[in-house]
Chain A
Amino acid sequence: MTNTVKADIKKEFERASEYVKKTGARVLICSGTGCVANGALDIYDKFLQLGADVKLKGEKHVTAIKTGCHGFCEQGVFVAIPDLKLTYVRVKPEDVAEIIEKTLKNAEVIDRLLFVDPKTNKTIQNPQEIDFYKYQTKKALFNCGQINPENIDEYIAARGYEAIDKVIKEFTPEQVCNEVEQSGLRGRGGGGFPTGKKWNFVRMNKADQKYVICNADEGDPGAFMDCGLMEGDPHRLIEGMIIAAYAVESSLGYIYVRAEYPLAVKRLKIAIQQAEERGFLGDNIFGTDFSFRIKIKEGAGAFVCGEETALIASIEGDRGMPMPKPPFPANEGLFGKPTLINNVETYANITMIILNNAEQYKKYGTGGSPGTKTFSITGEINNSGLIEVPLGTTLKEIVYDIGGGIRNNKKFKAVQIGGPSGGCLTEQHLDLALDYESLKSVGAMVGSGGLVVMNEDTCIVEVARFFLEFTQSESCGKCIPCREGTKQMLHILEKIVAGKAELKDLKLLEELAEVVQLGSLCGLGKTAPNPVLSTLKYFKDEYLAHIVDKRCPAGVCEAFKTIKIDPALCKGCTKCSKVCPVSAISGKIKETFVIDQEKCIKCGACLTSCPFDAIKEEN
């Protein structure tokens, strides 16, 4: 299959720009996973159906375009009309007709669909004035939400595939690696290893075949940045991989995507096919003797496959078990050949570095952690979504400026960063700059970039238990400390939340944590105790409350709840005793009923059954 198409990027750019111009006034409909769940596709269809020959203010031709994630998933479905500097939020299919009639034809704004600033209660038209966007610096996510990810011309018109053209014409592979090293870019997959350095390792290993792998396993539950990137701008990732392949002299690449991201897989497949058709992928790219192809491998649901050696085993069709390093993948990776493996976002940063230069790139971020980083903010926060900020931005800016503070005016308690391998940050860390070094210094890590915000109603011990349950069930079972140690730790945590633990269990928990950290092979085991250790460090009193006072301060843990009947209100109607599944309620008609606490399973069935509100839950 020789490629007969010889891409000429200048011509492609002109053609693509012409094409994008023809789309006229663009109506951008967010079609990321979140918005699709809220009916984005129906909205798109409605626009096609009703707006076929509508003209903006009767003048300009209008095109509805499905884009990737705008980031502000909480407010979806997002419909943006850049020509009018206008964004509608929470749009429903029923609203489409009105938008066409009023806004498109007559430039009339529909107040009901505007974003309402929670701080001032005023509506905002221009998305750039919404706090959530105002404080962000979109670089890797620049195109997300602006272009149609399923159309390569839209990417090309945004200077897409210009970087690979420049690289092939002006750079030797060594120069590419050095430029990336100069930029100081660090791996976005968690470890933060200098990317250029890794590229140079792979480049210097001579072999008949080398591989370039993109780690799109994004296993951290609560993180969806890579998902947003792949769905919103797949060509940026592909171009980054092509540049990497040129730099390390590889001819075959794999994108390993987790199974839970069907939309990302679909868009990547379309993008790869389009890039092949245009001659950016395939044999003899740009008429040179550089050839590169990309294959997609879908994961099958195993967190540990995000670890690079396990991922390689999984691509080879085996159980995804980590291997000891060395040998490092750069020396002996996929099928025993030198292999470059980077995260989605790492590749997405490459075109920026090439198109400008390393010095420009370093303008953002801090000295040790240059550039921008995407984060997903979720949990008990007002503005959930996908964001991008320079590394070194403080937690406070993210939670309060961009995130809009805690939901329902509750009190901030903690943020879990880096998922099950990370740690928690508390009030005292609000001014901490989020970058690789400072996070490490407080026992947390950038990790994937998932930020889960917790408020006063979140039980921190329960959260630690949740993470341990996660790592325990995801342990591949190869190392005994990880396999058995996490099980014992989980057992203790379960005892604590069930109110059955003693003080000596806490000590054992800490000892076990150390053993698991030291005795595990891969990052999963080594970091599994982190959530426990960091919560123990900052919230020891909550652990003690569960153990000593037999009380859950947040009122979450069921074991500490008691359900009682208020004798003053009980009229002895017998209703509750009939619904109780374990017959724990007894009494005589028209007399006060009582709940046998020994028998009660706290299912709460009786709570709603009482016509007199006499039954209450207490902590």
Chain B
Amino acid sequence: MVAETQKNLEKVFEKQRKFCKVNEIVEKYKYQKQNLIAILQEVQGEYRYLPEEIMTYIATIMSISPASVYGVATFYSQFSLDPKGKYEVKVCDGTACHVRGSMPVYKAIKEKLKLKDGKFTTEDLQFSVETVRCLGACALAPVVVINNKVYSKVTPEAVKIILDKLLERSGEGDKAND
């Protein structure tokens, strides 16, 4: 029973800490509507996605409607309303990468992580996969970026090896690489 209450209290604190960080971010941007995108970017940096309750909270403290926060969050592809994995795998599907075979790489990743059609994040929240548009390294196409590390001239075989290494590491419970 005591343990249970303790756990609940932990949850409340957790939530407060959550909002605390959001407060800090919104404060830093002076509650200005024109900084909404930057605010959401930082909040997402903190949580790896935009939880609905936090979006509503941001709207409240900034005195704008939740719809306008939600509107911005859904308009820009950078924002995610679902949790992302610890390792964010971004497969470039810009023109240069597409022409040099980014799709087979993308398919290989989804296959390797056992992600079926409509799913982009693994059950254990370790990996999420998405395609992005041009990362500015087209001469090295096809390009894959995993947590800001750029891998160049990737092939379906190579990407499996890269993932194997990360899978091993995440199995050991290591922290995400920078």
Contacts and interface: CB of A to CB of B under 8 A. Distances in A.
Given A33-B150, A319-B72, A463 B99 contact: yes
Given A34-B152, A37-B152, A379-B100, A452 B95 contact: yes
B139 A73 contact: yes
B113 interface: no
B32 interface: yes
A593 interface: no
A34 B35 CA distance: 31
Contacts of A376: 138-139
A260 B76 contact: no
A323 interface: no
Contacts of A416: 95
Interface of A: 33-34, 36-38, 73-74, 76, 218-224, 227-228, 259-262, 264, 297-303, 314-320, 376, 378-380, 384-386, 416, 419-420, 450, 452, 454, 458, 463, 466-467, 470, 476
Nearest to B96: A378
Contacts of A73: 137-140
B83 interface: no
Interface of B: 32-38, 40-41, 68, 71-72, 75-79, 93-100, 132-141, 143, 148, 150-152
Given A380-B99, A476-B75, 7 more contacts: A33-B136, A34-B139, A73-B137, A299-B37, A301-B133, A379-B96, A379-B99
Contacts, number: 139
Nearest to B36: A317
B99 A454 contact: yes
A218 B76 CA distance: 15
B71 A319 contact: yes
Contacts of A303: 133
- Sorted from nearest, which 5 A-B pairs have the closest CB atoms? A221-B94, A73-B139, A222-B95, A300-B76, A37-B150
Contacts of A218: 136
B20 to A, nearest CB: 23
A467 B133 CA distance: 12
Contacts of B71: 319
Contacts of A38: 140, 152
B133 A219 contact: yes
B116 to A, nearest CB: 12
Given A34-B140, A38-B152, A300-B79, A224 B134 contact: yes
10 contacts: A33-B136, A37-B140, A37-B150, A37-B151, A73-B137, A223-B134, A260-B133, A260-B136, A384-B139, A476-B75
